[in-house]
Structure 1
């Protein structure tokens, strides 16, 4: 028994599953069409167009699954969008019949994710992820902005840690009348600045390479 997957309007990937299901049953459908008189059948060009369309949609399905995993993080978003842009903008010799579709999909990706490289949540996570670092930024200005912001955040956290480690002077003990005596004590030498943690040193080394 042959089962087919149908298109569901609320699920974009149902289009891909439907095409893949038909392509898997191509031989059986061709035999069925040859043994019977049908009002219409798929031509060779139509089968080829279905194959090309499925190939274009496969990266969307793979990346959708990747960013939907329980172990996925915000660092996966920016690289995923960059990969989609590269796949859709790459021109192939066998793109005849799907060039308009690829261009339309690329325009949709650009529109929906126009600000992904300037969103702190995504570019911070990407820079700090050892798998990606700065390899998936499409514009040098966005990369410079991201690195500068990251360095500023590290410096800010270092200053906050330095402030919390500063030692406050001890208050004088009150006398028998309840008054506090002012006792002279030698000035406390300034504390040396706290050393950067290994994580902070790693961050600075990554963004300044």
Structure 2
């Protein structure tokens, strides 16, 4: 279908639960191939068609998850990441989620995703900068 529409030929990606960025990559690929996906579904499986609200959920979720993708790429690019940088990035991720939680224009499903992200960040990284062993690493001389 992509070839018939004179679009770049991209394979869709599948989410992998154990890979942090795979959800973002899957949604981004789906958005990149949106026209071909819509055309293919219209011909082959109309009952799977997404309405505008469904596409809005995908776009909003991908936008929010891109931030986490970029942080992961940055950390992965470094051979050694300082604990000070990890603490800073945890704080930035938390602020990113909190800022979007206040956006009442986001679809309900995206709000639920943000609530989950907020809860998981809180569970894993709350007060990380206050932990005595970690706080010493972020003190500037």
Distance 2:62 2:92 in 1: 17
Length, aligned pairs only: 128
User: Partner of 1:105 in structure 2?
Assistant: 117
2:45 to 38, 43, 49: 38
TM-score by structure 1 length?
0.55
- 1:120 CA drift (Å): 3.6
C-alpha contact 1:5 1:17 (8 A) present in aligned 2: yes
Q: Where in structure 2 are there 5+ consecutive unaligned residues? A: 1-8
Q: Deviations over 1:44-99 (max 9, x none)?
A: 11011011111121122222222232253111111111111111111224323221
Residues 120, 47 of structure 1: alpha-carbon distance in 2 compared, 3 angstrom cutoff? same
CA 122–62 in structure 1, closer or farther in 2 if over 3 Å, else same: farther
Please list the CA deviations of residues 12-32 of structure 1 after superposition, one character each: whole Å capped at 9, or x if unmatched. Answer: 311111111100000122233
Equivalent in the alignment of 2:91:
82
Aligned to 1:157: none
How far is the alpha carbon of 1:7 from its aligned partner? 1.5
Name the counterpart of 1:16. 24
The structure, 1 or 2, with the larger RCO (C-alpha pairs under 8 Å, 6+ apart) is 2
Q: C-alpha offsets along residues 134-187 of structure 1, whole Å, 9 cap, x if unaligned? A: xxxxxxxxxxxxxxxxxxxxxxxxxxxxxxxxxxxxxxxxxxxxxxxxxxxxxx
Q: What is the root-mean-square deviation of aligned Cα atoms in Å?
A: 1.9
Of 59, 66, 87, which residue of structure 1 is paired with 2:74?
A: 66
1:115 deviates by 3.5
What is the 5 A alignment of 1:159-170?
Answer: none
Q: Which runs of 5+ in 1 are unaligned?
A: 129-202, 204-209
The separation in 2 between residues aligned to 1:42 and 1:124, in whole angstroms, is 50
Counterpart CA distance in 2 for 1:99 and 1:10 is 23
Distance across 1 between alignment mates of 2:51 and 2:27: 15
**For 2:139, what is the secondary structure of its paired residue?**
helix
Output the CA distance in 2 between the equivalents of 1:86 and 1:9: 24
Q: 2:56, 2:107 within 8 Å by CA — same for their partners in 1? A: no
Which of 106, 124, 130 pairs up with 1:118? 130
